Chains A and B, each alone.
Chain A
Amino acid sequence: MQSSWESRSGTEVSEFLSFNHPHVMSAKLTAEGFEKSVERLVESPLDELVILHLRCLNCVNQQKYLEAYSEQSALVQAFTKLFQTQKEDNWALFIMYVISLDLRMFAIKADKELAKKGADKPGQTLEKAAECLMGLFRVCAADNRSSDEDTKRWGMLYLVNQLFKIYFRINKLHLCKALIRAIDASQFKDHFSLSQQVTYRYYVGRKAIFESDFKSAEKFLTYAFERCHRECRNNKRLILIYLIPVKMLLGHLPTPHLLRKYDLLQFSEVVQAVREGNLRRLNNALLQHDAFFIRCGVYLILEKLKVTTYRNLFKKVTLLMKTHQIPIEAYLEALKFMGVEDIDLDETQCIIANLIFENKIKGYISNSHNKLVISKQNPFPPLAAIM
């Protein structure tokens, strides 16, 4: 360990401080009096880090996660001070990566422990972890005097992703804004590692969904999906959970093959319903998997697909009527037939007016004749072209 430190071998040192490494299985490390042994063998400032790491290991072995978090937090803070003093040097970034990850993991477990005891505020440890990581982030972001090779700014995106994971978990999305701005302003924006970029775009895409900015969401999530490594099926599936509804809203339905390949059959009923313009089928599909959709946060976008479904239904009705001036009653009857309860002409007109407003129908409603007068050319433009 000491020699790895002296030779500035970031990856080696990071392994020794990571909980992913097999060394954590060894009982010898946390035997009585380990602190003295460390002080004997390892020089400052590394000794402090090692001691904190081993203390943390001790807590983990006893399944005391709140205390483990405490130790890890102290470790990160000690590291932050140390990191800052390493001028024009970034070999310790590897260490930063592993201890940040472990910090977040322990915070999650600590919060679970607190919840069992009837805690005041869910996610309070995660919030503290975020503050800790922000400290590290500031050290990285401020390092703009060093050369491109040695600058700590390379660590920014990794930390941003960790912070995103926390903010999404504790439902404080508004805190992502400042981080996104920082990354956007960075000259390394497009040069960070691919996996970090994929993760980043995934979260930014999800944030865009939350803000109803579907065009941007599509852009980010498509990048994430296409660049995500073929073998990370789980991650690809996660991205699709958000990409599919967004693309559906923008007029592109997924193929059954895609849904089967990634085990996302919850969407198949929705897709079929929208395609057919079948409102009853859509409502049932949403009901059937509502817990899943709500948990993932896509329920609302799927509700918005009702508009697409109305459009598809009305297009069918219009084609059946074979005229360019269709009585509103025809659409009202179609909606009633689809099981929409308590609906009247007023509401039907409102739905149609919205479709015209969104350029999904080309035409206008004649109030005096109570008819929809559609354009003779392409009255139902393809959705993908409009959006």
Chain B
Amino acid sequence: MAAATFVQGSCKTMCPPDEYEIRKEHNLVRPFETSFLSAVKCYSRSAAGQSAARHKNIRDLTTLENTVKYLFEQVLDRRKTSLAQLYDFVFDRLRAVRQDLVVQGYLEGFSGLRTVTVAKILEYCVRFYIYFQFRLSHLPASAFSSHLNQNHLDECLSQLLHLYSKIEVKNHDLLHQTSHIEIEALDLLLSKNSAGLHRALQLPSKTKSNTIVRNSIEISISLWLGNFVRANHIARGLPLSLQLAYRAHFSLLRPRVLEVYERGYRSPQGTKFPLEKLRRYLLFDTARQTAEFCVDCGLSLDDTGSSVIFKTGTALKFSTTSQSNNLYDQDFEETLENVRVSHFLYGQSI
């Protein structure tokens, strides 16, 4: 996109007046939006429109910042409805915020302190996706699309890393005003192959020597070597947002972990492996979930139902219908219930 096609937004309300009128007419106003003042611009695929008046419908940076604050403090914190419905609304409105950032060119060039503000907004978004990935993972696909959430998380992360590299080159000191350390560690923990590790190993030594980054590297290497126990152990010492991200990533490894233990413990006569022990290794909340997962993968339980049987000759099968993506954990739920959502999203609960 050439610089010439970037628009300078001039809208100073959370929702452009034109849009509010149209939506009111067509009954498209959400329950959260009780009046014009609480209406928030929604996401629309076609960013086309009369280019002359377009800037009126695009919010300027200060307004975007305030919109995000409103969504977090007045919608999420107030908690007037279910988490899933809150997520739906805020997900869409955040997407519109990010869209407004893109069309104004904020993700491309460097604009000094404003780029730091943009980075902060994206950091809030990243934490938003991680928070809800964790809290809604136990819902069926019709209520929460883990896939879509993950895609947006990935996109946001790569946009952020891009911004950090610009800030680093233009004005290194400004980097300290961002949460780049936390985000670099997050990116590493969520990386699906060794490319993330390769990148992390080449970070400047000042970044690498930071405890959070160092631990994240150690966790990733442990996982790469198959040492799940060590990885889980180190992860317990991570800040909250990183722990959630770690668990989200770990759930993808559950089939592999089960495979390793099955192979390592199986005997011709059949070994009984306690579900409670396996539960800890697989990071499941209850033995029952663990049992469901094992059975879904083709394993059998013993008569008491408290152990799974690992016997030579069993063929494991992995499908997406099993519990594999369920991140629910009682302890974490309690912690998160007691943390104000906006605090977490602003990065204050580290």
Contacts and interface: CB of A to CB of B under 8 A. Distances in A.
A306 B170 CA distance: 40
Given A118-B169, A300-B224, A357 B260 contact: yes
Contact of A364 (B194, B221, B230, B266): B266
B87 interface: no
Contacts of B202: 294
In the complex, which of the residues B166, B202, B230, B281 has the most CB atoms of chain A within 10 Å of its own CB atom?
B230
Contacts of A20: none
A357 B259 contact: yes
Given A294-B201, A299-B201, A347 B230 contact: yes
B166 A120 contact: yes
A120 B110 contact: yes
A120 B115 CA distance: 14
B170 A118 contact: yes
Interface string A259-296: 00000000000000000000000000000000000100
A212 B265 contact: no
Contacts of B264: 349, 352-354, 356-357, 364-365
Contact of A366 (B110, B166, B170, B267): B267
A354 B194 contact: no
Interface stretch (B5-13, B270-278, B335-343): B270-278
B132 to A, nearest CB: 30
Contacts of A297: 198
Contact of B226 (A210, A350, A367): A350
A368 to B, nearest CB: 8
Interface string A362-373: 001111100001
Interface string B211-249: 000000000010011111110010000000000000000
Nearest to A353: B264
Interface in B146-163: none
Contacts of B277: 367
B197 interface: yes
Contacts of B272: 367-368
Contacts of A42: none
Given A118-B169, A119-B169, A300 B229 contact: no
A350 B230 CA distance: 9
A307 interface: yes
Interface string A337-354: 000001100110111111
Nearest to B256: A357
Given A367-B273, A367-B274, A351 B194 contact: no
A307 B194 CA distance: 17
B210 to A, nearest CB: 17
A163 to B, nearest CB: 20
Contact of A304 (B224, B230, B266, B274): B224
B225 A306 contact: yes
A373 B266 CA distance: 11
B166 A351 contact: no
Among A122, A343, A365, max chain B CB count under 10 A is at A365
Contacts, number: 87
Contacts of A212: 193-194
Contacts of B281: 350
B316 to A, nearest CB: 12
B263 interface: yes
Q: Which of A299, A303, A350, A351 has the most CB of B within 10 A?
A: A350
Nearest to A294: B201
B224 A373 contact: no
B226 A354 contact: yes
Contacts of A304: 224-225
B261 interface: yes
B148 to A, nearest CB: 24
A346 B229 contact: yes
A297 B198 CA distance: 7
A343 B228 CA distance: 13
A297 B199 CA distance: 10
Contact of A353 (B197, B233, B260, B274): B260
A125 B304 CA distance: 68
A210 B198 contact: yes
A297 B197 CA distance: 11
Q: Of residues A294, A306, A347, A367, which shows the largest number of chain B Cβ atoms within 10 Å of its Cβ?
A: A367
A323 to B, nearest CB: 17
Interface string B266-303: 11000111100100010000000000000000000000
A211 to B, nearest CB: 8
Given A120-B166, A346-B229, A300 B265 contact: no
A347 B227 contact: yes
A305 B281 CA distance: 24
Contact of B228 (A299, A350, A367, A373): A350
A350 B227 contact: yes
Interface string A117-132: 0111110000000000
A350 B194 CA distance: 21
The 3 closest A-B pairs by CB, nearest first: A353-B264, A354-B226, A350-B229
21 contacts: A119-B169, A120-B110, A120-B166, A121-B169, A122-B169, A212-B194, A294-B201, A300-B224, A307-B226, A349-B264, A350-B230, A351-B227, A353-B260, A353-B263, A353-B265, A357-B263, A364-B265, A364-B266, A365-B265, A367-B265, A367-B273
Given A294-B201, A356-B264, 18 more contacts: A120-B110, A120-B166, A300-B194, A300-B221, A303-B225, A306-B225, A349-B264, A350-B227, A351-B227, A353-B264, A354-B225, A354-B260, A357-B263, A364-B267, A364-B271, A365-B264, A367-B274, A373-B267
Interface of B: 110, 166, 169-170, 193-195, 197-198, 201-202, 221, 224-230, 233, 259-261, 263-267, 271-274, 277, 281
